[in-house]
A and B are shown apart, each in its own frame.
Chain A
Amino acid sequence: MRPILEVHKYSMDYLTDEGRVQALREVSLSIAKGETHALVGESGSGKSTLAWSIMRYLAPNAEETGGAILVSGEDMIGKSAAQIRKMRGNRIAMVFQDPSTSLNPTMRMGEQLVEVLMRHRGLNRKAAWAEGKAGLARTGIAKPAEMMLRFPHEASGGEKQRVGIATAFACDPELIIFDEPTTALDILTANQILDLFVTLRNETGVAALYISHDLGLVSRIAHTVSVIHRGRIVEQGTVDQVFRAPAHDYTRGLMAAVPKPLERIAVPGPTTTTSLIQLEGVTVRYGDPGWLTRMLNPQAIGHTGAESVTLDVRPGELLGIVGESGSGKSTIAKVASGLNAFTGTIHFDGRAFTSRDALDHAYRRDVQIVFQHPDSSLNPRQTIGTILSRPLKLYGIVPADQVQARVRELLEMVLLPADFATRYPHQLSGGQKQRVAIARAFAAEPKLVICDEVTAALDVSVQAAVARLLVDLQARSGAACLFITHDLNLIRQLAHRIAVMQRGRLVDLFDVADADGPGRHPYTRALLDAVPVLESPAP
C-alpha cells in the first residue's frame, strides 16, 4: 500500500542577510496509514521547517532547491494556492505547540471548531455544531456543549489543546502533524494528552508526523523515528532499532545527554544536617487590592504565590524544588534572592531576616541567582568582560588590578575561551550565555547559588553539559545549590533532596534515594509516574 506521506530528497534554503542558509538537505521519509513517525531534533535542526513545507506554508525567504513531497501520491509542491487551501484542515491537519496562542482569543472555541467542519465538509451550522460536540466528546472533555460556548481564556491549557486536537481530527484527515503538542503543558496534563493522542490514532488510523525534542516521550508513542541534525536526517528506523542500537554518533550523543534518573552526577552529599539557609513560614502574596479597590469591591482578593513554606538547604547540598508552572517554585527562588517581598523568616548563616529590606549586602553576596532565560539574563549592551567583572568590583572580591585576570579565570572555569571577555552576549549561543550567567553567580564566591530552571531553555545536549558544569563548580567551591526545575529525571540525577510544591504549598520533601520508596505524597507519585524515562541503549 502506498504510504500517506512521502518526502523524497527534499531540500530547502533560507535566503538571509548573511547569505544562503541550508535549512533542509535531501530529507526523505515516509509514513504509512496508522503509523506515527517521530521527527526528533534540537532547536534549529529544521524539524519545524519540514512541517511547514509539508503544509505548504513557506517563509517568504525560503527557496526550495529540489525533491518532492507527496501526500497519498499527490505532488504537493506543484499545487495551486486554492488546491492547498482545500487540503489544509481537511486532508492534512496540524496541532500546534502552544494551545494558548493557537486559538483565536476573540472567538468561542466551538465556533473555531465548527468553522473547519462547515468549510471542508459542507455541513450547515446546526449539523456542524452537533458534529463538533461529538468530536469534543471523543477527546474526553466532560461537558462538550458547555466547552463549545467558552472562550479560550475560560479553559485550561489541557482543555484548549483538546479543542486543538478535536479540530485537527474533525475532518478525518489522512495526515496530522503534531508540532510538540505537549511542550507547553504541565507534566500531568501532557500525559493525558499523550494518552488521548494514542487512543485517537488507534481509532482513526491516521498517519501522524510527531515533532519533538523529547526522546523519552517519543520512545513511548512513536512507531518509527527520524533523527534530524542541521537539516539532514542522520538516522531513521523503528523506535526499537534507533533507541536500542543508535548507529549515528549524533544520535548516540543525544541519547547520552538525556537525563536518566538513576545515573547520579551529584557531588557527595552534605555531612551535617545543620542548615545553611532556612526558610520558615515564608508566605508571598501578589496583587493585594488597594483601599479604593477594596471599597468598590469588598470581594477583591490578592493571589498567594507561596503559603507558609518551610524548607532548608544544608551546606554543600543540592536541593531540588519541583512542581508544575504556577506552583510557587520560582516565587521561592525570588524570595531567597531578595527579589520578592515576603512575610516569615529567612535564617541564613546564624542570622535571621524577616523582610526583604532586611536582606543586606553580605547576604546578597552569599546568595546568588541564575535565571532561566540566558537571552535576557545578560545585559545586551555590556561585554562579557564587563558583566563578569561587576560582581568582582561590587563585592571587592579581588583587588582592582587583578579583575581582568580573574575574569579570564572565570571564563576558563566555565570552559569558555578567555577572549570571550570582549564579546557581546548576542554573539554567543544560548548554552554559552548560560555559562556566562553561571560564571557571574560563582564570581561572587557565594555560599548558596539559586538556579531557577537554568536548563529549561536549552537543548538536551547543552542541558546535560550545563548540569555537569554546575555540579563541577559546586564540587570545587563547596557552595550549596537550590535547583528549581520541572524536569524530574534531571533533578533525580543532581539533587540530594527534593522538595515538591503544588499550588504555593510545599507538599513533600524527601531524600533522592527515597523517591521510589513508600510514604511519598500522592502528588509526588503522580509526577514521578508521569515522566517518560528513556532506557539506556544496549551496550
Chain B
Amino acid sequence: MRRILRSPTGLIGSILLAIVTVAALLGPWIAPYDPQAFDVTARLQGPSLTHLLGTDQYGRDLMSRILNGAPTTILFGVFATALGVGVGSVIGVIAGVAGGRTDGIIMRILDGMLAMPELLFTLLIVTFLGGGSTQAMLAVAVTFAPGMARIARSSVLSVRTREYVLAATARGESRAWIVGREVLPNALGPIIVESTIRVSFAIMIGATLGFLGLGAQPPSTEWGLMVAEARQFMFRNPWCVIAPGAVIAITAMGFNLFGDALRDAFDPKRSR
C-alpha cells in the first residue's frame, strides 16, 4: 500500500477512489435535497449557492441526484465485475490447470465470445434478458468472463511451470493442494489488478446501457440514465449533462489509476 501511495498515479487514484467510496457509502444521507423533489420555479438552473451543481428539467437538485445515484452506479460496477471475474477466473483456472484437450475446447469457445465487441455483446444479452439493472449487471458479467478467463489462464500457466510447483508435483502432492496452495496464491496478482481496472469499464458500460434506456429505468438516479434524460435539455442547461458525465469519468479514472498503480506495485521488476 505504501508503494501505491508513493507514485503520483497511485496517489491520485487512491484519492479519487476514496471520494467515490465515501459517496457510494454515504451519498443518499449527505445529499442536501430530496433527489425526487420537483421545484417548478427553479428548472434547468446553472450552479448557484442554493443548488451547487444546478437543477434539471424538473427542478431537481443535480448534486443530490448524483449523490443518491452513487451507490447504484458504483455497486453496479463492483458487483458486475466481481461476478464476471469470479466466473471467468474459475473457468480460466480450470483450463490452465487441466491443460491439453479440456484447455483447447474451453479456450476456443471463449475465443469465439471474445471475437464480439464488448458493448455489442452486452446489448445482445440485454435484449435476451430484457432491460433493468439486474439484467444489465448479468450482461456485463457475462461479457467480462471470457477476457478474465484468458488472463487467469495465462497467469496460472506461467506459475504452473515454476520450480516450486514442480517440486510439489515431484513430492506427490494432490492436485487440489497444488492448485490451492502453490498455484493460486501466486497467480492471483494479475487477476486482482485486472479486475480493479475492469470496474471502470463496467461502470461505463452500465452508464451506456442506462443512456440507451436498457439499464436502470426512470426515475432511478443512475448516472448514465441521468445523462440520457437530460440530453434534450443540453443546450438550455449543459450542466445537467456535464455533471453526471464528469462524475462517471472521475470514478472510472479513479479505478483505472488505482489499478495501474496496483499493477506496478505487484510487479517485482519495478521495485528496485
Which residues of chain A have a CB within 8 Å of any CB of chain B?
A: 16-17, 61, 337-339, 360-361, 364-365, 367-369, 371-373, 376-382, 390-391, 394, 437, 440, 444
Contacts and interface: CB of A to CB of B under 8 A. Distances in A.
B171 A444 contact: yes
State the main secondary structure of chain A at its contact with B. loop
B173 interface: yes
Interface string B155-196: 000000011101101111100000001100110000000000
Interface centre among B167, B169, B173, B271, by most A CB within 10 Å?
Answer: B167
A378 B169 contact: no
B167 A364 contact: no
B272 interface: yes
A17 B272 contact: yes
Given A61-B272, A381-B185, A381-B186, A376 B164 contact: yes
25 contacts: A16-B272, A61-B272, A337-B170, A338-B169, A338-B170, A338-B172, A339-B169, A360-B172, A364-B170, A364-B172, A368-B170, A369-B167, A369-B170, A371-B163, A371-B167, A372-B163, A376-B164, A377-B167, A379-B181, A379-B182, A379-B186, A382-B181, A391-B171, A394-B173, A437-B167
Given A16-B272, A17-B272, A61-B272, A379 B170 contact: no
Contact of A371 (B166, B182, B186): B166
A339 B163 contact: no
Contacts of B169: 338-339
Contacts, number: 52
Given A339-B169, A361-B172, A377-B164, 5 more contacts: A17-B272, A337-B170, A380-B186, A437-B167, A444-B171
B271 to A, nearest CB: 7
Contacts of B167: 369, 371, 377, 437, 440
Contacts of B163: 371-373, 376-377
Contact of A365 (B164, B172, B185): B172
Contacts of A379: 164, 181-182, 185-186
A61 B170 CA distance: 43
A377 B167 CA distance: 7
A371 B169 CA distance: 13
B171 A390 contact: yes
Contacts of A373: 163
A394 B172 contact: yes
Nearest to A359: B172
Nearest to B186: A381
B166 A339 contact: yes
Nearest to B268: A426
A381 B182 CA distance: 8
A5 B61 CA distance: 76
Interface centre among B162, B169, B185, by most A CB within 10 Å?
Answer: B162
Contacts of A376: 162-164
A427 to B, nearest CB: 14
A361 B174 CA distance: 10
A339 B171 contact: no
A163 B172 CA distance: 47
Given A16-B272, A17-B272, A61-B272, A378 B164 contact: yes
A360 B172 CA distance: 8
Contacts of B170: 337-339, 364, 367-369
Interface string B247-272: 00000000000000000000000011
A16 B185 CA distance: 28
A374 to B, nearest CB: 9
A376 B163 CA distance: 6
A367 B171 CA distance: 8
Nearest to A444: B171
A61 B172 CA distance: 46
Nearest to B167: A377
A166 to B, nearest CB: 33
A310 to B, nearest CB: 22
Nearest to B272: A16
A391 B271 CA distance: 33
Contacts of B271: 17
A474 to B, nearest CB: 19
Nearest to B173: A394
A167 B51 CA distance: 73
B158 to A, nearest CB: 11
A391 B172 CA distance: 10
B272 A394 contact: no
Contact of B171 (A372, A381, A382, A394): A394
Contacts of B182: 379
B166 to A, nearest CB: 6
A61 B271 CA distance: 13
Contacts of B185: 379, 381
Interface centre among A337, A373, A379, A391, by most B CB within 10 Å?
Answer: A379
Contacts of A382: 181
B192 to A, nearest CB: 14
The 3 A-B pairs of least Cβ separation, nearest first, read: A364-B172, A377-B163, A371-B163
A376 B182 CA distance: 12
A113 to B, nearest CB: 32
B2 to A, nearest CB: 10
A379 B172 CA distance: 16
A394 to B, nearest CB: 6
Contacts of B164: 376-379
Nearest to B271: A17
A480 B199 CA distance: 55
Nearest to A378: B164
Contacts of A16: 272
Interface centre among A361, A365, A367, A371, by most B CB within 10 Å?
Answer: A371
A4 to B, nearest CB: 34
Nearest to A391: B171
Nearest to A441: B167
A16 B272 CA distance: 6
Nearest to A380: B186
A271 to B, nearest CB: 29
B5 to A, nearest CB: 13
A17 B170 CA distance: 39
